[in-house]
């Protein structure tokens, strides 16, 4: 009874603090709304004042949105210093009282660091770390950790780790922020002062994505110059982006762009192709092929004949080459450079026409003087040759007319045609000569398969992006910081697309090379990054698995040894059921799967069940799984997701489906947070306890 009274008293004490925070938050929102209304109603005089007014309104709107986003579980922690007993509450944003006293510390502030980094071995001056569990604005429970070695007192409520409690809750199909439970090794990465490229890798369930998203929120908070240029979070597919979409808004960050490759190029992939063809298309050598093809559509060592109403002029090859070199300065892209080339050529053309006209008039005067026997200059009282003013020719107007002359444009088109990115990619994929030059080790049969067809494949999208940069110039939207999740999936061409969008090379890159997909040829972070920053990147590795149980991880060990022999199994902090493989006949598989989902749902209500199968089989089972209340995912699309229970349908089929099959199976097995089941089609339909990575059924 005494412990319950103490707990109730501590909850009440924290509730009073949280109430004060919410009152201050509401006052802040109200003040900003008043300022917003005042700004909207204020008269404006002219475009400059209107722009300033609109900017102020937009800033106030964003500020209100950030404050409102923090209302849910506003405060989640507290640290009490050992020396003087001073307390600091930690939460989603920072709040100060009217007197300027800190009422709530933003979790990203330096003062909040001990909440994450303090341990019993290194308490950082902290006696007690308290975790608050809130439901909206109501404090439900508190949980304390004593870090300085002193004995708990009557007001210390020591219980289970909040991390364990969070991991034990059912999945919801969406990732949630973890600002309250970031671990020390994760927080160190999130708060890193490094502004260049940071690589964070680790096995499944080590919190790579959570670290990446909280890193994005920290960058926006700590580095204003980067925040001004925006943050992009790049993911492998839209299912994954939907899964993580609530994390940053829950941290008060709504202006981060979430995108996949189709989003970046605004083109959907509608055609599948063999994995080995996708790998070939992903090689950076094809960028050289595109550049070579662009250069072939520009003049090199050729004359240029230009017909005008005044005269026909043929510019010498060296003059044409000089105009080309001038036009291409500044990486402006083929089409923009063509316009500049036209201007330089017309300048040379007008100069030549002017020279010819002056020469012709001078020759005419000499002939006339000889014929008449008089000195025209002396007769006119003017020394020298006939001037441009005397000829009354407006060469500037002639130049402008020539720039718009369709005859001149057609002449330019013969040596420098306009290009479209789409035609450039199709031209590359259809040019056996160019492909053979940049891909000398690729077989003739594969070169034939590269030929462009109707629609675009996923691997074509990065080629399109490269072609746009070559044709239209580096006009893509750039960002101050890019977070790349599931980075092991990227091809060399996709890395080029992302690097173009981050000139400052400020990036957080997270991934697991053991989970690499079929379209990449990269096998190390050095392979991926050295073309851009050589060895100038920071590398962190996460070693603790927070999601997958020890039993499931051990079941994946033989498969991990096969696909990534140099990689160590991560260490799980949780235990659970042994994985099971259930034999079933092909005919009975759909009904057995439905019954199995129903059984798991009955035993574990409210938990999320994910069914993972090879792509073709996942389509065939979609209706059955949906009817039973589960979620089905094709194995190649499962990266980054998590479920309470995972049911793998035909693990041998997943393993055999394409070059990345073994890696896809490894990913599928590690999506489970609590239990892993497999349905293996067989002739006997026997059940057993076995690893789905092995041959037992």
Q: Is 202 annotated to bind ligand?
A: yes
The C-alpha angle 674, 678, 682, rounded to 5 degrees, equals 165
Q: Report, in angstroms and rounded to the nearest whole number, the Rg of the chain calculated over CA atoms.
A: 34
HSE-CB for 339 with a 13 A CA cutoff = 8
CB 129 within 8 A of CB 99: no
The C-alpha angle 154, 160, 162, rounded to 5 degrees, equals 110
Q: Is 249 annotated to bind ligand?
A: no
Residue 601 in tokens: 């749902």
- In 3D space, the residue among 566, 589, 572, 335 whose CA is nearest the CA of residue 469 turns out to be 335
Report the alpha-carbon distance of residue 664 to residue 37 in Å, rounded: 54
Q: Mind spelling out the 3-state secondary structure of 61-114?
A: HHHHHHHHHCCCCCEEEEEEECCCCCEEEEECCCEECCCCCEEEEECCCHHHHH
Number of Cβ within a 10 Å radius of residue 351: 14
List b or e across 263-297, with b for residues whose CB sees 16 or more CB atoms inside 10 angstroms: bbbebebeeebebebbbbbbbbbbbebbbebbeeb
CB 502 within 8 A of CB 478: yes
Report the alpha-carbon distance of residue 430 to residue 552 in Å, rounded: 47
DSSP H helix total and E strand total for the chain: 29, 22
Residue 390 in tokens: 């005397």
Q: Please write down the long-range contacts of 597-603, taking CB distance under 8 Å and 24 or more positions apart.
A: 597/625, 597/628, 597/629, 597/630, 597/647, 598/628, 598/629, 600/645, 600/647, 600/675, 600/677, 601/628, 601/629
CB 339 within 8 A of CB 380: no
Q: Is 631 annotated to bind ligand?
A: no
Q: Is 307 annotated to bind ligand?
A: no
The C-alpha angle 198, 203, 207, rounded to 5 degrees, equals 65
Measured torsion, CA atoms of residues 6, 11, 17, 22, in degrees rounded to the nearest 10: -170
Report the alpha-carbon distance of residue 687 to residue 326 in Å, rounded: 74
Cα separations (Å) of 385 from 147, 358, 370, 376, 535?
A: 97, 8, 16, 10, 66
333 φψ region: left (φ > 0), alpha (ψ -120 to 50), beta (else): left
Residue 386 in tokens: 């006939």
Q: Is 196 annotated to bind ligand?
A: no
Report the alpha-carbon distance of residue 431 to residue 288 in Å, rounded: 13
Residue with tokens 């389509």: 619
Report the alpha-carbon distance of residue 161 to residue 544 in Å, rounded: 16
Q: Is 503 annotated to bind ligand?
A: no
- The 8-class DSSP code of residue 134 comes to E
Residue 249 burial by CB count (10 A; 0-12/13-18/19+): exposed, middle or buried?
A: middle
Residue 520 in tokens: 């990449």
Cα separations (Å) of 358 from 345, 352, 563?
A: 20, 10, 78
Query: Given CA atoms 203, 207, 208, 209 in this order, what sign does their dihedral have?
Result: positive
- In 3D space, the residue among 322, 288, 326 whose CA is nearest the CA of residue 304 turns out to be 322
Q: Is 204 annotated to bind ligand?
A: yes
Q: Is 205 annotated to bind ligand?
A: yes
HSE-CB for 511 with a 13 A CA cutoff = 26
Which residues sit in the known binding site?
Answer: 202-209
Residue positions forming the annotated binding site for ATP: 202-209
């Amino acid at each position: 009874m005494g412990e319950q009274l103490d707990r109730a008293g501590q909850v009440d004490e924290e509730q009073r603090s949280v109430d004060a925070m919410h009152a201050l938050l509401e006052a802040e929102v109200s003040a900003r709304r008043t300022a917003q209304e005042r700004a909207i109603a204020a008269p404006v005089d002219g475009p400059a004042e209107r722009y300033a007014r609109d900017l102020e309104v937009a800033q106030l709107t964003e500020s209100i949105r950030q404050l409102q986003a923090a209302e849910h579980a506003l405060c989640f922690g507290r640290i009490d210093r050992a020396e003087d007993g001073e307390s600091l509450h930690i939460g989603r944003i920072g709040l100060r009282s009217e007197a300027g006293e800190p009422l709530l510390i933003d979790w990203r502030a330096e003062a909040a660091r001990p909440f994450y980094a303090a341990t019993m071995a290194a308490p950082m001056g902290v006696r007690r770390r308290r975790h608050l569990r809130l439901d909206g604005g109501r404090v439900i429970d508190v949980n304390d950790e004593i870090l300085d070695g002193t004995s708990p007192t009557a007001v210390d409520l020591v219980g289970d780790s909040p991390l364990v409690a969070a991991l034990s809750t059912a999945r919801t199909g969406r990732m949630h922020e973890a600002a309250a439970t970031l671990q020390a090794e994760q927080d160190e990465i999130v708060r890193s002062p490094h502004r260049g490229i940071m690589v964070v890798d680790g096995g499944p369930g080590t919190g790579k994505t959570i670290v990446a998203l909280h890193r994005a929120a920290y960058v926006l908070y700590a580095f204003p110059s980067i925040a001004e240029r925006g943050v992009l979070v790049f993911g492998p597919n839209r299912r994954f982006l939907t899964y993580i979409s609530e994390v940053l808004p829950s941290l008060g960050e709504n202006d981060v762009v979430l995108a996949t490759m189709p989003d970046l190029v605004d083109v959907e992939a509608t055609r599948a192709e063999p994995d080995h063809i996708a790998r070939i298309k992903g090689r950076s050598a094809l960028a050289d092929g595109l550049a070579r093809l662009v250069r072939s559509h520009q003049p090199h060592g050729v004359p240029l004949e230009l017909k005008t109403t005044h005269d026909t002029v043929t510019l010498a090859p060296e003059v044409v080459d000089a105009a080309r070199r001038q036009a291409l300065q500044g990486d402006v892209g083929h089409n923009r450079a063509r316009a500049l080339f036209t201007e330089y050529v017309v300048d040379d053309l007008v100069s030549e026409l002017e020279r010819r006209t002056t020469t012709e008039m001078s020759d005419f005067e000499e002939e006339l003087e000889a014929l008449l026997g008089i000195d025209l200059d002396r007769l006119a009282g003017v020394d020298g040759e006939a001037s441009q003013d005397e000829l009354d020719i407006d060469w500037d107007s002639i130049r402008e007319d020539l720039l718009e002359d369709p005859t001149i444009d057609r002449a330019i088109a013969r040596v420098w045609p306009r290009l479209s990115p789409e035609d450039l990619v199709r031209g590359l994929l259809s040019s056996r000569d160019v492909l053979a030059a940049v891909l000398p080790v690729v077989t003739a049969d594969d070169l034939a398969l590269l030929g462009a067809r109707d629609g675009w494949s996923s691997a074509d999208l990065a080629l399109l992006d490269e072609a746009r940069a070559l044709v239209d110039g580096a006009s893509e939207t750039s960002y101050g910081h890019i977070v790349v999740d599931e980075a092991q999936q990227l091809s060399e061409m996709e890395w080029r697309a992302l690097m173009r969008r981050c000139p400052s090379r400020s990036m957080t890159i997270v991934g697991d090379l053991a989970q690499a997909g079929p379209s990449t040829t990269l096998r190390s972070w050095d392979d991926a990054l050295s073309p851009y920053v050589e060895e100038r990147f920071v590398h962190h590795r996460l070693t603790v698995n927070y999601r997958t149980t020890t039993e499931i991880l051990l079941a994946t060990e033989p498969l991990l040894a096969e696909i990534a022999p140099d990689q160590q199994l991560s260490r799980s902090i949780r235990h659970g059921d042994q994985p099971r493989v259930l034999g079933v006949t092909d005919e009975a598989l759909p009904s057995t799967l439905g019954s199995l989902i129903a059984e798991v749902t009955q035993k574990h209500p409210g938990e999320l069940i994910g069914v993972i199968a090879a792509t073709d089989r996942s389509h065939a089972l979609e209706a059955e799984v949906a009817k039973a209340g589960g979620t089905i995912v094709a194995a190649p699309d499962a990266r980054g997701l998590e479920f309470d229970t995972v049911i793998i349908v035909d693990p041998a089929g997943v393993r055999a489906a394409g070059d990345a099959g073994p890696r896809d199976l490894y990913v599928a097995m590690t999506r489970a947070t609590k239990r892993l089941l497999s349905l293996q089609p067989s002739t006997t339909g026997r059940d057993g306890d076995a690893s789905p990575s092995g041959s037992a059924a």
